[in-house]
């Protein structure tokens, strides 16, 4: 059966890996035919087998016997309804909503609860064994992470710990927003990240809704997500041989729509996890931000991921002498300026030693491009800047060939 319009809209909003998913029908599972309950010797005269629809009247008789005057009859009816499994659940739920008999209601509530747990656990066991796939929104999770035993285990843990989220994955942005509140409330109640160490499931529960650009998320939600992504469990997942690339794609989907409040943290994350889209984010940010510290973080990402064409875009900052951070003590020396960081980034992009262009010590860094707060001059800062600026402009005047990384 083709995907529903609702699922199709959801898949168009999220990652490209999800766009081609074809969702199967997600109706109720068909239960295996229950074992026959023989009427002979059971005291009720019935032989109940087959579907609930075909024997609704017989199941109703058993339900009425739950309120019988004799204790033995009530117990016998209870046992037989339990033996039917989930086939009798629709009839029992219907009767529960209409009965006023306290005894019948009490026994029905207990029966329904037991049968729902048994049915759910049976489905989970079958699902984990790969014998059936008709689980709520499983196709979406499977297309995000692939169909494997590991992914099925992740899905089951999400289903157990965040059922509202799983139910909403194919829903509207409003439904996902409601699920977000549920996720936040659950994590706050459990003191996750404060008193309880977050798990990969806690992190994924926050990340999944954030990948949908149609779902509004605020700075507080992004702060929660960043905190979870910094945990060791996230680092382990992104380096997982089977799931790492898929997980990184999910993180990238959020990074592309992330706000500016936590932009420095996001840029650092892209560098730590070698996500080249940090370049595009940094280039966009230097066009709209005038904050010295923000610019310095952007220069790091540009130095790490950029090419010589990007170095040209940093040339306008060479004469920006605003301090990035004021030194805490006078002995720390002069403050590093925006222009200093820009020139260091340009040297790194050109693969020229920063010492060669006039800086006092090497500041290149494999993960972060360079460390801007270590930038210094061997002589008076004003004299050093002037000499280094001359070297940097000479680099920028050279012809270049773009080698920019796609992303």
Which two structure tokens, joined as six digits, stand for 218? 């605020």
Q: From CA 243, how far away is CA 365, in angstroms rounded?
A: 28
Task: Place 15 in a pLDDT band, splitting at 50, 70 and 90.
Answer: very low
Residue 21 CB contacts under 8 Å (≥ 6 apart), including other chains = 3, 7, 11, 139, 140, 143
Encoded tokens for 299: 């220069």
Domain shared by 16 and 165, yes or no: yes
Task: Give per-residue pLDDT as tens, 103-114.
Answer: 878 878 887 777
Residue after which a domain boundary falls, among 94, 112, 128: 128
- Same domain for 19 and 142, yes or no, is yes
Report the candidate in 271, 171, 161, 241 with the shortest Cα–Cα distance to residue 206.
Answer: 161
Predicted confidence band at 10 (pLDDT cuts at 50, 70, 90)? low
Burial (0-12, 13-18, 19+ Cβ within 10 Å), 302 = buried
Measuring CA to CA, how many Å separate 167 from each of 7, 137, 284?
A: 12, 7, 36
Rounded to whole angstroms, the Cα distance separating 159 from 250 reads 19
pLDDT for 209-227, tens place per residue? 999 999 999 999 999 999 9
pLDDT value at 281 more than 50: yes
Which of 23-37, 114-128, 155-169, 213-227 has the least mean pLDDT?
23-37
Q: Report yes or no on 37 lying in a domain.
A: no
Residues 303 and 371 in one domain: yes
Mean pLDDT for all residues in the chain: 83
Domain assignment of residue 307, yes or no: yes
| Shared domain check, 140 and 21 | yes
Distance CA 295, CA 310 (A): 14
Structural domain span for residue 115: 53-128
Res 3: pLDDT? 45
Kindly state whether residue 342 falls inside one of the protein's structural domains: yes
Last residue of a domain, one of 112, 128, 144: 128
What pLDDT was estimated at residue 84? 72
The CA distance from 351 to 241, in Å, is 31
For the chain, the domain total comes to 3
Question: Is residue 140 situated within a structural domain?
Answer: yes
Question: Does residue 232 have a pLDDT over 70?
Answer: yes
What is the average pLDDT across 228-251? Answer: 92
| 402: phi then psi, degrees, rounded to nearest 5 | -70, 135
Rounded to whole angstroms, the Cα distance separating 280 from 296 reads 15
* pLDDT of res. 114: 72
* pTM listed for this prediction: 0.71
The answer to the question of residue 401 being in a domain is no
Burial of 74 (C-beta count, 10 Å sphere; 0-12/13-18/19+): middle
* Percent of the chain clearing pLDDT 70 (strictly above): 82
**Residue 13 within a domain:** yes
Q: Within this chain, do residues 383 and 301 fall inside the same structural domain, yes or no?
A: yes
Q: Residue 330 — pLDDT band, cuts 50, 70, 90?
A: low
Note whether 139 and 95 are same-domain residues.
Answer: no
Indicate if 79 and 100 belong to the same structural domain. Answer: yes
Bigger pLDDT: 325 or 210? 210
Least confident among 230-234, 273-277, 295-299, 394-398: 230-234
Question: What pLDDT score was predicted for residue 119?
Answer: 65
pLDDT reported for residue 47 = 46
pLDDT tens-digit readout, 350-384: 999 999 999 999 999 999 999 999 999 998 999 99
CA dihedral 331, 334, 338, 342 (to 10 degrees): -90
Name, of 60-64, 94-98, 148-152, the range with top average pLDDT: 148-152
pLDDT at 274: 96
The single residue listed with the structure tokens 């220069």 is 299
Q: What is the pLDDT of residue 28?
A: 34
Average the pLDDT over 238-264 and give the result: 95
How far is it, in rounded angstroms, from Cα 209 to Cα 193? 19
**Over pLDDT 90: what percentage of the chain?**
58
Give residue 74's pLDDT.
78
* pLDDT at 1 (0 to 100): 39
Instruction: Report pLDDT for 62.
Output: 81
The total of other beta-carbon atoms located within 10 Å of residue 165's CB is 24
Residue 83 has a pLDDT of 73
Task: Report residue 40's pLDDT band, with 50, 70 and 90 as the boundaries.
Answer: very low
User: Are residue 123 and residue 149 in the same domain, yes or no?
Assistant: no
Which CATH number goes with the domain that contains 90? 1.25.10
**pLDDT digit string, tens, across residues 285-301:** 999 999 999 999 999 99
Residue 264 is assigned to a structural domain of this protein = no
Q: Which residue has the tokens 């629809």?
A: 53
156 and 15 in one domain? yes
- For the chain, give the secondary structure using H, E and C: CCCCHHHHHHHHHCCHHHHCCCCCCCCCCCCCCCCCECCCCCCCCCCECCCCHHHHHHHHHHHHHCCCCCHHHHHHHHHHHHHCHHHHHHHHHHHHCCCCCHHHHHHHHHHHHHHHHHHHHHHHHHHHCCCCCCCCCHHHHHHHHCCCHHHHHHHHHHHHHCHHHHHHCCCCHHHHHHHHHHHHHHHHHCCECCCECCCHHHHHHHHHHHCCCCCCCCHHHHHHHHHHHCCHHHHHHHCCCCCHHHHHHHHHHHHHHCCCCCHHHHHHHHHHCCCCHHHHHHHHHHHHCCCHHHHHHHHHHHHHHCCHHHHHHHHHHCCCCCECCCCCCHHHCCCCEHHHHHHHHHHHHCCCCCCCCCCCCCCEECCCEECHHHCCCCCCHHHHHHHHHHHHHHHHCCCCCCCCCCC
Residue 64 lies in a domain: yes
pLDDT of residue 248 exceeding 70, the answer is: yes
């Amino acid at each position: 059966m083709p995907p529903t319009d609702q699922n199709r809209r959801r898949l168009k909003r999220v990652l490209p890996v999800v766009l081609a998913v074809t969702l199967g029908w997600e109706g109720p599972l068909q239960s295996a035919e229950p074992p026959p309950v023989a009427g002979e010797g059971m005291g009720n005269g019935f032989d109940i087998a087959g579907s609930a629809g075909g024997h609704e009247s017989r199941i109703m008789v058993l339900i009425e016997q739950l309120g019988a005057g004799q204790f033995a009859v009530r117990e016998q009816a209870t046992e037989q309804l339990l033996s039917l499994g989930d086939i009798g659940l629709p009839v029992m739920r219907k009767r529960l909503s209409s009965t006023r008999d306290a005894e019948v209601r009490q026994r029905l509530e207990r029966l329904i609860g037991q049968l729902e747990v048994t049915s759910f656990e049976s489905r989970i066991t079958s699902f984990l064994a790969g014998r059936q796939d008709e689980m709520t929104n499983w196709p979406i999770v499977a297309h995000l992470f692939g169909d494997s035993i590991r992914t099925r285990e992740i899905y089951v843990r999400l289903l157990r710990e965040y059922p509202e989220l799983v139910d909403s994955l194919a829903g509207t942005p409003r439904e996902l927003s409601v699920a977000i509140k549920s996720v936040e409330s659950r994590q706050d109640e459990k003191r996750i990240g404060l008193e309880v160490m977050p798990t990969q499931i806690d992190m994924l529960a926050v990340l999944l809704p954030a990948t949908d650009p149609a779902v509004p998320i605020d700075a507080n939600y992004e702060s929660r997500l960043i905190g979870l992504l910094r945990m060791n469990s996230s680092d382990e997942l992104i380096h997982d041989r089977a799931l790492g690339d898929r997980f990184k794609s999910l993180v990238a989907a959020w990074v592309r729509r992330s706000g500016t409040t936590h932009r420095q943290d996001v840029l650092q994350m892209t560098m730590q996890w070698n996500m080249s889209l940090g370049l595009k984010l940094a280039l966009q940010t230097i066009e709209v931000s005038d904050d010295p510290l923000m610019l310095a973080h952007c220069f790091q990402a540009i130095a790490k991921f950029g090419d010589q064409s990007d170095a040209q875009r940093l040339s306008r900052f060479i004469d920006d002498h605003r301090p990035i951070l004021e030194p805490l003590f006078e002995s720390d020396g002069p403050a590093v300026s925006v222009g200093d960081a820009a020139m260091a980034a340009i040297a790194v992009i050109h693969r020229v030693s920063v010492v060669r262009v006039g800086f006092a010590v090497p500041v290149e860094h494999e993960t972060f491009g360079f460390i801007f707060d270590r930038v210094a001059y061997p002589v008076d800062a004003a004299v050093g800047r002037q000499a280094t600026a001359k070297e940097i402009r000479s680099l920028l005047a050279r012809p270049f060939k773009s080698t920019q990384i796609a992303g």
